[in-house]
Structure 1
Amino acid sequence: MLRRSSFGKSDKAGEYSELADSLDYQFIEELKETKLSLLLSENHDFINAMFQDCSDVIVREFEIEPHIPALLLFVDGLTNTELLNDTMKSLMLLGGGEIAIERIVSTILPVSQTQVSDNYGDLLVSVLGGDTALLVEGNPKAVLLGIRGTEKRSVGEPETETVVRGPREGFVESLRTNTSMVRRKLKTPRLKMKSMTVGKESNTNLVICYLDDLAMPSLVEEVVKRLEQIEIDAILESGMIEELIQDDAYSPFPQIQYTERPDVIASALLQGRVAILVDGTPFALVVPFVFIQIMQASEDYYERFQIASLLRLLRYTFLFLSLTTPALYVAITTFHHELLPTTLMLSVAASREAIPFPAVVEAFIMEITFEALREAGIRLPKAVGSAVSILGALVVGQAAVQAGIVSAPMVIVVSITGIASFTIPRYNGAIAIRMLRFPILIAGSIFGFYGIFFCLMILLGHMANLRSFGVPYLSPFGPLSAGDMKDALVRTPLWKMANRPAFMPIQDTQRMGSKLAEQIQQDGGVDGSRIHHEHKSSEEGKP
C-alpha cells in the first residue's frame, strides 16, 4: 500500500523515489491523498521515479518568461502535438512575472477543456488517459489539458446488427465519439451521462447513460452500486463488465443486452432503461434485458407493422426449430415411428439402412461439424471465410452421405437447424439456443418426446425464475401484462403503442398522444374527403 509522505517537509529527492518504488498498483485512491509539492524539482523527481523505463512518457522542461521553470507531462501518441506546441508557445510568451495557476488557466491557455488537480492520483489517471499535465514552479497544483489526439476508427455501419432500413452508423472505440452519437439522438438536458473509472491497472473510463425523467432512481443506483463494487485489475471490453454485474452467471441466457447501434441505445433509454458505454469498445450495454428483446430487431420499428409482425412470428417459429429440430428427428426415428406417414417412414428407414451409427450419434457428428465450420468462417479472413464455410458444409455433407457416415435426412435437419439459428437477431441469444440444443438432443434420444417436453419445462421454469436487475425475464408473458403484448409476439401500429412497457421500471408510462390518429380518422383521411382535387374539363385546352 501507499507509504504517505509530505512533500513540503522533505529536502531529499531520494525520498520521492522511495515513495514511488513503494507503490503497488492498488494505489490510485491512496495516491489521491498525496499532494503535489511547491517545488518543481521534487515533483519532477517523483514523476521520473514513477515512470522509470516508460519510454512513451515524455517530460518536457521549459521556462515561462521571465525565467520561471515549468514542465509538461504527456504520453507520446495520445496527445495532439499541434495543440501541445501552441500551448507551449503561449506559455513561453506569458511575461509579467505572475505565475499563479488560476491566471494561466483563465487568460493564457488556448485549450477549451482544462482541469486543476492538487494530487498525484488525478494527475496520473488523466495523463495515462491522454491528457497533458502542466506543472509550474511555486504552484502546488497541476493543470490537466484536454488535448487528446489518439488515432480512432471512423464511424461506419455495425457489422453485427445490419439492417435493411434504418441508420447505418455504429459505435467506435472512442468513448466521447459514442456519447456524442447518443447525444445527437436525444437532444435533451434530461439525458444524463455519469462518468466512472473501473480497473486498478487499466483505469477504464465508462459512462452511465439514462434519462432522469424516465429511469427509476433505484435502477440507476443499483447499476452504479454494482459497477463501484467491481474489483479487477483491468476492464478491456464491455463483455467483462457484463459477466461481472449480471444477476445469474450460470444461466445460459443473456441478461444484459449489448449493441453497436446508437439508435438502439436511444430507444432503450426512452423505455427507462440504463446504458453503459465503455471506452475502448464499440459495444454498449443496456439493462434490464428480457427474453422478448432477443427476438426484436431495430428495423422492426422502421418498417410497417405488418412486415415487422410477420418477420417476428417467423423468428419465433425458427427459434423453436433451432432449439428442437435435431431432438425431434432423433426422437421420432428412435421411438415414435408411427408419427410419420408410411411412405416417408420407409424413405427415412431406407436412407438410414447402411448408416453404422444410431441417429443421436449422427446428429452429434453433424451438429459439431456444422458448429466448427461456422466458427472457422468467423475466424478466417473475410475474403475467404464465407466461401470456406459454405463450400465446406456442402463438400463435407455430400461426402459424408456418399461415404455412408450420415444419412441425407440428417443433413437436411442440421441445415435447417443452422439456418434457423441465424434468424435470431441477438447473437448472444442465438448462442444460448445453440448450447441448449445439445442437452435437449440427449434427452430426446433417451426418453423420446417425454425427454424433450421435460427439458422444455425445466427451461421454461428457469426462465420464469430469472431476473434482470429486478425485472422478470419472461415479461410481459409472466407475469402477464396485457398492455405490453402489443410489442411481444407481434408489433401493433405505433399509434396504438402510446404507453411505454409497463414491466420496465419507469417514471412516466405515456409515450405519445393519440390526437394524430384520431384527427386522421375524423377528417376522412381514409377516403380523402377533405383533400380537394381540381379536375380540369376534358374540353379545356381545346382550340
Structure 2
Amino acid sequence: MFKQLFGRKRLLRTPQVHNQPNTSNSDSSKPLSSSLQENLTTIQTILHHPSDLLIRHFTIGTNQYPCALVSIDGLVDIAMINEQLLSPMLHSFDHPVSSTSDLINVLKQQILTAYELETVELLDDALMAILSGDTILLLNNLSQCIIISSCGWKTRSIEEPQTESIIRGPRAGFTEDIRTNTALLRRRIKETNLVFDTYQIGQRSRREVIVTYIADIVHPDLVKEVTRRIKTIDIDDIEGSGYLEQWIADSFLSPFPLIMNTERPDRVSGALLQGRVAILVDGDPFALILPITFASSLQSPEDYYQNWLISSLTRVLRLISAFIATFLPALYIALLEFHHGMIPSKLAFSIAGAREGVPFPAVVEAFAMEFTLELLREAGLRLPKPIGQTIGIVGGLVIGESAVAAGMVSPVMVIVVAVTAISSFSLPSYSFAISLRVMRFSIMLAAAFLGLYGIILAYIMINIHLVNLKSFGVPYSTPFAPILLRDWKDLILRSPLLFVTKRPKMMQTKNEQRMKGRRNRG
C-alpha cells in the first residue's frame, strides 16, 4: 500500500542535489593551510572579524610548537576549555615528538581529556564546528585541525509542557536542546532498534534535524518517504518545526493537520511503538509525529493512564465537542432563519421573546459574536499569561453582558457562542481545534444561504475532503474508510489494554504483536 500511495508523490517532489551550505566566500571549501597565521586570517575574514570570536595563542612542548584555540564567545563552555584543553596542554605536555603529525596524535591520545575529538582537513568543516559551539585547535605546519566538543550555551531546563495540560502522567516536556530531547526518548525506550537519523537542513543555518523510529517495527517505505521529502527542502533556514511541517505535508490546501506536533515525550514514544515516525528539530521544543489520522486528533496519552471506561467516555465527549464546535452556530442560524417549525413551540416562544428588540438577523448576530470571540482568544494569547487569562474571562463577560443589555444580541446567542467555545477548548489538539474554527465560519455561511440543506452539503463536502486526504500514504479517514475493524479497539471507544494485543493495522508494521493476549498471560 505504501509503494502505491507514494508513487504519485515521487513525481511531485524531487530531491535537491544542492542542499549544501551556501557560503558567500568560496575560500571556505578549500583545505586548511599549513600556516597557522594564514588559517586564522582566513577564518577571521570569512566570519567578517566578529567581536565574539575568541582566539587563544600559546605554545606547547619542548620545541615550542605555536598553536591556537578558536571558538565563539557565548557558545562554548569556558570552564571546560580551561580545565580540559589549556591546562593539560600547558602543564602536562612532556612527551617527546619528532614531527607535527606525531604531535597531533599525542594530543588526541594522551593529552586532551575532552570526550569528543575529531580531525578535519577542510576549512568549511572547521568553520561549521566553530559556529556550532565547538572549539578548534590549530597547529603551525599542519594542514589539519582538531575539533573539540565544547558546547556550553544556556538551555531551558526540563519543564511541564506549556501547550498540553497534564492531569495524570509524566510532566517532562521537550526543550529547545535537541540532545536533551533525544535523551528523554532514550530514557523512555531502552531499545537497541531505536534509530536517530541526523540531517543538516538549511543552506545557511545547517540546522540539525533528527528522524527517529524503531527499525524492527516501522514500515521501511515510510522511512524512505520521510527521508526523501526532507531531502527536498531547499531553504536558507527552517526556523522551527512549523517550517518543516509545511514543507513535507501531503497537502497545503487542507485546513486539517496532517502532521501532529507535541511537546510530550510520552506521546512521541507511544507513536514510535505504534510504528510511526517522529522528527526533532534543533532549537524547537515541538516534535512532529507522522503519519496521523482524523482520530489521532481526538486522542490523548492520558487516555492510556486511566481506566478504559473513563477513557472511552472522554473520547466520546471529545467527538461530540468537535461536532458542537463546528456546527452549533450554523444550526442556530438555520433554525431561526429557515426552519422555525423544527423548534419546539415553548422553546420557539422563549427564543422569540429573548430576541425581541434585537435589530440584527440571526446571521449578523452570530457572525458578530463569533468574530468577537476570536478577537478575545487572540488577545489572550498575545498578552502576558496572567493578563491574558484575565482579559479573556473578564472581556467575554463584560462584552456579552453589555451586548445583551444594549439589545444588540440575544441571551440565547451568548449561550450558543459560549457552548461553542467550551467545546473547542475540550479538544486535545490545538491545531485540530483551529481547523474546526476555520470551517465553522464556512458552514455558517452555508447555513445563512441554504439553511439545513447548506449544513448537510457542507458536511458532505468535508467528508469527501477527509476521505481524499492522506498523511504519508495513510488515508486520513482510516480506520473508518477504509474500514479496519481491528483498529476500532483503540478508536473512539478504547478497549481494555489486555485486548489491544497488536499494533495498528493501518501502519503495516514489521512486528504486529505488541503484547501477549489475555489467554497467554501467566
Say whether the fold is shared (TM-score over 0.5).
yes
1:485 aligns with 2:488: yes
Residue 340 of structure 1: aligned partner = 343
Distance 1:405 1:399 in 2: 9
Match of residue 43, structure 1, among 17, 39, 43: 39
Residue 279 of structure 2 aligns to a residue whose secondary structure is: strand
Residue 135 of structure 1: aligned partner = 138
How do 1:106-125 residues align onto structure 2 when only pairs under 5 Å count?
A: 106-125=109-128
Residue 3 of structure 1: aligned partner = none
Match of residue 232, structure 1, among 223, 231, 235: 235
1:449 aligns with 2:452: yes
Residue 89 of structure 2: aligned partner = 91
| 1:448 Cα deviation after fit | 0.5
| 1:92 Cα deviation after fit | 2.2
How do 1:54-69 residues align onto structure 2 when only pairs under 5 Å count?
A: 54-66=50-62, 67-69=64-66
8 Å CA contact 1:28–1:121 kept in 2: the answer is no
Distance 1:457 1:176 in 2: 46
Offset from partner CA, 1:200-228 (integer Å, 9 cap, x none):
22211111111110112211111111111
1:27 aligns with 2:9: no
| 1:199 Cα deviation after fit | 1.2
Residue 415 of structure 1 aligns to a residue whose secondary structure is: helix
Whichever residue aligns with residue 74 of structure 1, its letter is S
8 Å CA contact 1:373–1:393 kept in 2: the answer is yes
Whichever residue aligns with residue 88 of structure 2, its letter is S
Residue 30 of structure 2 aligns to a residue whose secondary structure is: coil
| 1:95 Cα deviation after fit | 3.4
Change (3 A) 1:28 1:264: farther
Offset from partner CA, 1:376-418 (integer Å, 9 cap, x none):
1111111221111101000000100111111111100000000
8 Å CA contact 1:201–1:234 kept in 2: the answer is yes
Residue 88 of structure 1 aligns to a residue whose secondary structure is: helix
Offset from partner CA, 1:324-375 (integer Å, 9 cap, x none):
0000000000001111111111111122221111111111110010111111
| 1:102 Cα deviation after fit | 2.7
Whichever residue aligns with residue 89 of structure 2, its letter is L
Distance 1:143 1:196 in 2: 22
Distance 2:53 2:299 in 1: 47
Distance 1:447 1:372 in 2: 27
8 Å CA contact 2:21–2:206 kept in 1: the answer is no
* Structure 2: gaps spanning 5 or more residues: 1-19
Q: Which has the larger radius of gyration?
A: 1
Offset from partner CA, 1:61-97 (integer Å, 9 cap, x none):
2112231111111110111111101201212242335
Residue 408 of structure 2: aligned partner = 405
Residue 437 of structure 2: aligned partner = 434
8 Å CA contact 1:323–1:434 kept in 2: the answer is yes
Whichever residue aligns with residue 91 of structure 1, its letter is M
Offset from partner CA, 1:454-504 (integer Å, 9 cap, x none):
011111101100011100001111100000001111100011000000001
| 1:519 Cα deviation after fit | 4.7
Distance 1:317 1:29 in 2: 59
Distance 1:85 1:322 in 2: 59
| 1:304 Cα deviation after fit | 0.7
Change (3 A) 1:250 1:519: closer
Distance 1:53 1:392 in 2: 52
Whichever residue aligns with residue 140 of structure 1, its letter is S
| 1:25 Cα deviation after fit | 6.7
Change (3 A) 1:291 1:32: farther
| 1:27 Cα deviation after fit | 3.0
Change (3 A) 1:184 1:25: closer
Residue 261 of structure 1: aligned partner = 264
Match of residue 511, structure 1, among 511, 514, 517: 514
Residue 70 of structure 2 aligns to a residue whose secondary structure is: strand
8 Å CA contact 2:219–2:507 kept in 1: the answer is no
1:204 aligns with 2:207: yes
Distance 1:196 1:121 in 2: 17
| 1:133 Cα deviation after fit | 0.9
Distance 2:60 2:428 in 1: 59
The more displaced of 172-181 and 63-72 is 63-72
Residue 138 of structure 2 aligns to a residue whose secondary structure is: strand
Distance 1:145 1:411 in 2: 63
1:78 aligns with 2:75: yes
Residue 213 of structure 1: aligned partner = 216
| 1:32 Cα deviation after fit | 7.3
Residue 267 of structure 1 aligns to a residue whose secondary structure is: helix
Residue 201 of structure 1 aligns to a residue whose secondary structure is: coil
Distance 1:58 1:223 in 2: 39
Change (3 A) 1:486 1:120: same
Residue 177 of structure 1: aligned partner = 180
RMSD of aligned Cα (Å): 1.6
Give the total of aligned pairs: 496
8 Å CA contact 2:23–2:204 kept in 1: the answer is no
8 Å CA contact 1:258–1:286 kept in 2: the answer is yes
Distance 1:391 1:222 in 2: 49
The more displaced of 465-474 and 142-151 is 142-151
1:157 aligns with 2:153: no
Whichever residue aligns with residue 50 of structure 2, its letter is C
Residue 109 of structure 2 aligns to a residue whose secondary structure is: helix
8 Å CA contact 1:80–1:150 kept in 2: the answer is yes
Residue 362 of structure 2: aligned partner = 359
Percent identity of equivalent pairs: 41
Residue 318 of structure 1: aligned partner = 321
Whichever residue aligns with residue 505 of structure 2, its letter is A
Match of residue 302, structure 1, among 300, 305, 315: 305
The more displaced of 296-305 and 124-133 is 124-133
Whichever residue aligns with residue 89 of structure 1, its letter is S
8 Å CA contact 2:21–2:202 kept in 1: the answer is no
Whichever residue aligns with residue 118 of structure 2, its letter is Q
8 Å CA contact 1:29–1:121 kept in 2: the answer is no
Distance 1:28 1:459 in 2: 48
8 Å CA contact 1:289–1:468 kept in 2: the answer is yes
1:329 aligns with 2:332: yes
8 Å CA contact 1:65–1:95 kept in 2: the answer is yes
| 1:139 Cα deviation after fit | 2.0
8 Å CA contact 1:326–1:363 kept in 2: the answer is yes
Distance 2:261 2:145 in 1: 38
Distance 1:348 1:105 in 2: 83
Task: Give the structure-2-normalised TM-score.
Answer: 0.92
Whichever residue aligns with residue 454 of structure 2, its letter is G
Residue 277 of structure 1 aligns to a residue whose secondary structure is: strand
8 Å CA contact 2:333–2:447 kept in 1: the answer is yes
Residue 503 of structure 1 aligns to a residue whose secondary structure is: helix
Distance 1:497 1:352 in 2: 52
Residue 44 of structure 1 aligns to a residue whose secondary structure is: helix
8 Å CA contact 2:28–2:46 kept in 1: the answer is no
Distance 1:519 1:297 in 2: 27
Residue 506 of structure 2 aligns to a residue whose secondary structure is: coil
